[in-house]
Structure 1
């Protein structure tokens, strides 16, 4: 199987690196392209057998499976450009949340899938969200499933939960790294610990927490119960979090939903007249 990746910005690059490092496919079976060619050449320097296409048309023509990893409002134009090279036996994957598989299927005759990756996939971990198009063949469902399993956990979602699922899986690492940084900075400000030591401790703590959950030793709630001794220090800290966090996460989801609605409206304008 030959894979094409159009767009090697942050997520496009992560996909290339994860697919190769996860041994999902060899570098020689991947062709990439990017509007700024220097970004593609950085990957070419890292993986010598990787092929760089001159433009999206060449990548689509040379590939069985094509990933589109560009900004939401650029997808429509890319689809127009590569459509003649997407024969029915091929498969197209979009990684952008505001564009549905049904919209993609209006433009192309091949199998269509949406895969929303996470930066955690770079460590061959975390979840990748999958939505198959109504006309996606069983052949490509099996192929995509096998491919994504190499870089993380495939998780199938319905269109109606696309945004909250993306907030958790794709945006979540940024949200929680922000919280962890704030946690570290507060420790440095309020105590005598230095930032380097606090960063090492906090980073290893979060990795260990992930392992506890992954290995099934505790659930989120049971873990809190184990650490919070009645009348102890941890419980005092939990009280502060309980009192001061308030509706912060509700507000977070409200803000992301509002921005998502803006993006949906802009995309709909592009696809509505097609």
Structure 2
């Protein structure tokens, strides 16, 4: 099986190196192309650097890892070269299968990885158009970066908020908590951050390993009339409005981004 990646930005680069590290694809079967060819020097150690058209003609799975505004141009460039039996994989959730089909009407999937793919713990979202019958090949390929979750196309937006955007949301929330803590203690900032990060990571592992819910953890820690209970009351009273606003804003931004991307076609 030959795999190609068009676009050597952050996601394209991450996928290329993870596929290589997994050892399931030999160098002779791994291809990469990029508009700025000089950026591919390091990639030549693990893959074949070629033009996009050549890549599309050679590969069984073609990943397109470009910005929404550049997607149409890439599809137009490869439409006459791509193998009609190939699987086209877009890492752009903003453009629908219906719109992609206007340019290239073949088996197509959309994939949304997370930043945590860098440590092999991504919750990677995937959806397929109606031409795809073999879903396992792509899912198995992506398993080297973490868990693979199939969703219907119309749920990929909210799914992205929950896994792809979530590292940013989590980091910003705990950044606020750590900065607030600084005003109440002489403990150094670096130590506060390490304490909170380690506790956050361990809490997640505990919940997954013991199959505990959020409510289970709160109940275990927040004894009635105690200090933790006082803090959790503040969170449950004040944070829901912030969470609602967060999703309202991000989903509206996603809607506008999708509209703009679709118009480019």
Question: Which of the five TM-score ranges fits, normalised by the shorter chain?
Answer: over 0.9
- 1:130 aligns to what SS in structure 2? strand
In structure 2, relative to structure 1, the CA distance for the partners of 1:196 and 1:28 (3 Å cut) is farther
Q: Deviations over 1:104-142 (max 9, x none)?
A: 233224311111111112211131111101112x23x12
Q: In structure 2, what is the equivalent of residue 3 of structure 1?
A: 3
CA RMSD across the alignment: 1.8
Q: In structure 1, what is the equivalent of residue 29 of structure 2?
A: 29
Counterpart CA distance in 2 for 1:51 and 1:198 is: 45
Counterpart CA distance in 1 for 2:48 and 2:17 is: 14
Q: What TM-score comes out, normalization by structure 1 length?
A: 0.89
Structure 2 contact 111–126 (Cα < 8 Å) conserved? yes
Q: Deviations over 1:143-164 (max 9, x none)?
A: 1121122322111112222211
CA apart distance, 1:3: 1.0
Q: Which runs of 5+ in 2 are unaligned?
A: none
1:109-120 aligned within 5 A: 109-120=105-116
Residue 129 (1) aligns with residue 125 (2): yes
Q: In structure 1, what is the equivalent of residue 154 of structure 2?
A: 160
Q: In structure 1, what is the equivalent of residue 102 of structure 2?
A: 106
How many residues are paired up? Answer: 265
Counterpart CA distance in 1 for 2:197 and 2:26 is: 32
CA apart distance, 1:217: 4.0
1:1-274 aligned within 5 A: 1-44=1-44, 48-53=45-50, 55-136=51-132, 138-139=133-134, 141-271=135-265
- 1:4 aligns to what SS in structure 2? strand
CA apart distance, 1:246: 4.1
Q: Which runs of 5+ in 1 are unaligned?
A: none
- 1:85 aligns to what SS in structure 2? coil
More divergent stretch after superposition (35-44 vs 156-165): 35-44
Q: Which stretches of structure 1, 4 residues or more, deviate above 4 A after TM superposition? A: none
Q: What TM-score comes out, normalization by structure 2 length?
A: 0.92
In structure 2, relative to structure 1, the CA distance for the partners of 1:21 and 1:229 (3 Å cut) is farther
In structure 2, relative to structure 1, the CA distance for the partners of 1:23 and 1:195 (3 Å cut) is farther
- 1:96 aligns to what SS in structure 2? coil
